[in-house]
């Protein structure tokens, strides 16, 4: 299916590895141009160089999005390079384990890492999105609806992302801007692999988690996450807005009798 994304411009945060990298690659596979905002210079430049050899534009913008001024600079650099923004994908964040005992300062810092830049990036992109009648996709987490324990900051941020998705969908409908959220549960990323490999028996630890995922008893792939994001960004989903979509193999919502094996 042609998703009608050729030459569209997608601004993606955290696009150098894991789910974000897969999103960038899926946009490029559809003929879109991407701006990848990421903290790591090495990874971002390597990805940009890979696609430059293919004649495709994967523009790397180095930024630490904990500072809201970095969000404005990222938008400005994207517009300087491409002249437009059709899609904003808010993806950057980290499950930082800031729990109740950490204290208010650490909690606020966690919101800076995981929520505030979502708002700031969309705020600064708004004029461009109105002009293109674009779309916004927010990457959330199952933690927003299930809880996890020991990660109050991250859980609050992800709950806030769900709330902003619905709020912005209402605010921006009159401008033809669609806003949706895509939520992973257990997705196999380099970070997840590293965590699993720290276990005494990594293979057993991985199998134990896989048995909790009803559809296929396997982790979601980053490609499966990315393809949903790119579809929602495209005109093929032109009447879909305000939706919170779980790409999780049934992990989050199925009855426990189907997940407890």
Q: How many other C-beta atoms are found inside a 10 Å radius of the C-beta of residue 6? A: 10
Q: Per the domain annotation, does 170 fall within a domain?
A: yes
How sure is the predictor about 138, in pLDDT bands with cuts at 50, 70 and 90?
very high
Q: Per the domain annotation, does 84 fall within a domain?
A: yes
Whether residue 258 lies in the annotated active site:
no
The Cα 126–Cα 132 span in angstroms is 10
pLDDT of residue 261: 61
Query: For residue 257, is pLDDT > 80?
Result: no
Query: For residue 119, is pLDDT > 70?
Result: yes
What is the average pLDDT score of the chain? Answer: 96
pLDDT of residue 12: 98
User: 117-132 and 152-172 helices cross at what angle (nearest 10)?
Assistant: 20
Q: Per the domain annotation, does 37 fall within a domain?
A: yes
Q: Per the domain annotation, does 207 fall within a domain?
A: no
- In the sheet where 135-139 sits, what is the strand order? 58-62, 33-38, 9-13, 87-90, 135-139, 178-184, 244-247
Q: Per the domain annotation, does 162 fall within a domain?
A: yes
Q: Per the domain annotation, does 115 fall within a domain?
A: yes
Total domain count, the chain: 1
Q: Per the domain annotation, does 183 fall within a domain?
A: yes
pLDDT of residue 136: 98
Residue linked to tokens 């999005």: 65
Query: For residue 188, is pLDDT > 70?
Result: yes
Average the pLDDT over 233-258 and give the result: 93
Average the pLDDT over 99-110 and give the result: 98
CATH of the domain at 135: 3.40.50.720
The Cα 75–Cα 84 span in angstroms is 10
Residue-wise pLDDT for 160-184, tens only, equals: 999 999 999 999 999 999 999 999 9
Q: Estimate the share of the chain in helix, then strand, then coil, as percent rounded to the nearest 5.
A: 50, 15, 35
Annotated active-site residue in 51, 118, 154, 251: 154
How sure is the predictor about 74, in pLDDT bands with cuts at 50, 70 and 90?
very high
257: nearest Cα among 205, 216, 215, 212? 212
The residue range of the domain holding 138 is: 9-189+222-255
Q: Per the domain annotation, does 86 fall within a domain?
A: yes
């Amino acid at each position: 299916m042609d998703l009608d994304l050729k030459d569209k411009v997608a601004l993606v945060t955290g696009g150098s590895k894991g789910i974000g990298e897969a999103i960038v690659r899926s946009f490029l596979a559809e003929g879109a141009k991407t701006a990848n905002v990421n903290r790591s210079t090495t990874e971002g430049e390597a990805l940009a160089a890979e696609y430059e050899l293919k004649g495709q534009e994967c523009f790397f913008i180095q930024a630490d999005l904990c500072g809201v001024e970095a969000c404005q600079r990222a938008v400005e650099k994207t517009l300087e390079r491409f002249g437009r923004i059709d899609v904003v994908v808010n993806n950057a964040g980290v499950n930082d384990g800031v729990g109740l005992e950490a204290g208010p300062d650490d909690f606020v810092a966690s919101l800076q890492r995981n929520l505030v830049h979502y708002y700031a990036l969309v705020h600064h992109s708004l004029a461009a999105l109105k002009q293109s009648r674009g779309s916004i996709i927010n990457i959330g987490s199952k933690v927003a609806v299930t809880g996890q324990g020991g990660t109050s900051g991250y859980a609050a941020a992800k709950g806030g992302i769900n709330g902003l998705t619905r709020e912005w969908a209402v605010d921006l409908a009159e401008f033809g801007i669609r806003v949706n959220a895509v939520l992973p549960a257990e997705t196999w990323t380099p970070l997840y692999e590293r965590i699993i490999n720290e276990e005494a028996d990594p293979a057993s630890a991985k199998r134990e988690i896989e048995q909790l995922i009803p559809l296929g008893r396997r982790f979601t792939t980053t490609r499966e996450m990315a393809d949903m994001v790119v579809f929602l960004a495209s005109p093929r989903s032109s009447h879909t807005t305000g939706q919170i979509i779980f790409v999780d193999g049934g992990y989050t919502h199925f009855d426990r009798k189907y997940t407890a094996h």
